[in-house]
Amino acid sequence: MKRAIKNSSGGSMKNLFFTKRPPDSVFQVSSSKKILELSLFILIFFCHLSCTRSVKETSFTSEEKRRYEELFVDLMFYETGIYTLFGEKPITVSLLENSDKKEDPLYIDRSKNTQYILIKSWDLWLEKLKNLPMQNYLFVKKEIKDMPGIYNAFFVNIPATIRVLKEHYPLFKEELGLDFDPETIVYDLQKESSEFWDKAFQIESHISKGLLHGFGKENALKFASLAPDEMDGQLSNILLPYEEISTKNFNLPFFRYFKSPDPILEKYRKDRLKIQEFYQGKDLFDGTLEKLLEK
């Protein structure tokens, strides 16, 4: 026994280490594990760096919050874009005027009620959007043809717009005379010129505009059938004075309906209650931004 131990601890000891060496595959697994761990560390580091930078880039100064809160009051609560934000109204369109003076509007007068010039706030907001992770909405500003300095400002709920384009595809195709893909055409609104959207918002495109503004199929068809001087139906809303608008008191979408009770109007009334509840205890700017950034 002693001899066996001696022989094992003698010249053959080197062979003992080699025979006990793990197979190459073990070292390969260990090496791969270290590489994976290092890769994950690098990925986490850069994700953290990117997220930190993103938060920094999308933070808002006190001045910006005041400016954009005023913009939200105008677009969401006065122009009824809040129903687009919450999903039932596909598109809201607001009129903007390129004027350096709030006291000199040619076509609109609500700028007199604001601290900031609305069109400037829109331009700054459009620039700010480049750093915001917004997925479900579009903000677009387009000059109206033959009306220099006057713009349509579009606020678009992408999923809701795609739904209405799919659901009423035959009506859009018949009125506009165009084939289109609802999944992609919504993004063409961002182009300087789009045949589909140029036609959809023509004065005479009553059905398309009624559907896109969320007034319902029956109301859109009935309104399109009226003679220019015919005043059938009832108005959904009496617009509140600008200075009375708040998260507790804001307009319903403004349209003409033709039967009572009207299901579209009743739906908006219920939505208004839900929206009022959403904003309870919330800052107007923070609550609106939270909703805009939902995924």
Is the distance from CB of 125 to CB of 96 less than 8 angstroms? no
pLDDT at residue 242, as a whole number: 85
Query: Residue range 68-80: average pLDDT?
Result: 95
pLDDT at residue 53, as a whole number: 39
pLDDT at residue 112, as a whole number: 66
pLDDT band, residue 54 (cuts 50/70/90): very low
Q: Which residue, among 253, 179, 151, has the nearest Cα to 211 in the 3D structure?
A: 253
Query: Residue range 5-34: average pLDDT?
Result: 44
pLDDT higher than 90, residue 277 = yes
pLDDT at residue 41, as a whole number: 52
Query: Residue range 32-43: average pLDDT?
Result: 54
Max intra-chain CA distance, the chain: 120
Is the distance from CB of 185 to CB of 169 less than 8 angstroms? no
pLDDT at residue 40, as a whole number: 54
pLDDT higher than 50, residue 147 = yes
pLDDT higher than 80, residue 237 = yes
Rounded mean pLDDT of the chain? 83
Measured distance CA(199)–CA(177) in Å, rounded: 9
Residue pLDDT, tens place only, 80-131: 999 999 988 999 999 998 866 555 555 565 666 678 888 999 999 999 999 9
Burial (CB < 10 A; 0-12, 13-18, 19+), residue 275, is buried
More confident residue, 45 or 259: 259
Q: Which residue, among 256, 267, 266, 168, has the nearest Cα to 219 in the 3D structure?
A: 256
pLDDT at residue 80, as a whole number: 96
Lowest mean pLDDT among 23-27, 101-105, 229-233: 23-27
Lowest mean pLDDT among 117-126, 201-210, 234-243, 272-281: 234-243
pLDDT higher than 60, residue 167 = yes
The strand pairing partners of 151, in sequence order, are: 96, 143
More confident residue, 68 or 146: 68
More confident residue, 15 or 40: 40
pLDDT at residue 230, as a whole number: 85
pLDDT at residue 39, as a whole number: 56
pLDDT at residue 104, as a whole number: 55
pLDDT at residue 267, as a whole number: 96
